A and B are shown apart, each in its own frame.
Chain A
């Protein structure tokens, strides 16, 4: 069973479109995250969310918004996509004191 699953694995879309990436975890973790990995392979956190608190990295444009229908899901919605949004986006989850479990990533290409 996949612990953290994201869909789609690949996403190619045009500038200006709105798209969503879905993430689900079956580990019972209480916190979920979205990370962006750029071309230099740096992993940068975008959001951290548990059922109590959403923490937003202030450097993330407000075109990006996380949506959590329940504890096991944290989807990423992106409005008005730009070329610079092209990257690999990773979902992750954790429980307090434990390491992160990452999804396999979604490669977004904006053309």
Chain B
């Protein structure tokens, strides 16, 4: 069964600290993996997209890693800011079309002053 599991469900950190969010998937055959940031009351916004051959991609203070062998990805946030408080959603797509795009449930990040 195609699944995307994220951990932790929620996380509270102090402003300025780093954190890492995890994503494990069983989606096959793998095409790409995306991380999205969803602010409360808004639609998800793309942070990174990685294909099979990529194992690291950065977008400012956000760095995503991908291990296609173990089917794991992480999103590392450096020097967190209050505006980083949001849900972070891992999305994995398969090679075939149709509905082979699976969304994780997200990790809810709270950054406190």
Contacts and interface: CB of A to CB of B under 8 A. Distances in A.
Given A40-B105, A41-B106, A102 B99 contact: no
A26 B79 CA distance: 35
B34 A99 contact: yes
- Please classify how large the interface on chain A is, using the bins under 10, 10 to 19, 20 to 34, 35 or more: 10 to 19
Interface of B: 34, 41-46, 49, 87, 89, 91, 97-99, 101, 103, 105-106
Interface string A71-109: 000000000000000000010100000011111110000
Interface of A: 4, 40-45, 48, 55, 57, 90, 92, 99-105
B12 to A, nearest CB: 17
Nearest to B51: A97
A55 B98 contact: yes
B1 to A, nearest CB: 14
Nearest to A101: B46
A4 B98 contact: no
A45 B42 CA distance: 17
A59 to B, nearest CB: 10
A16 B56 CA distance: 50
B61 to A, nearest CB: 19
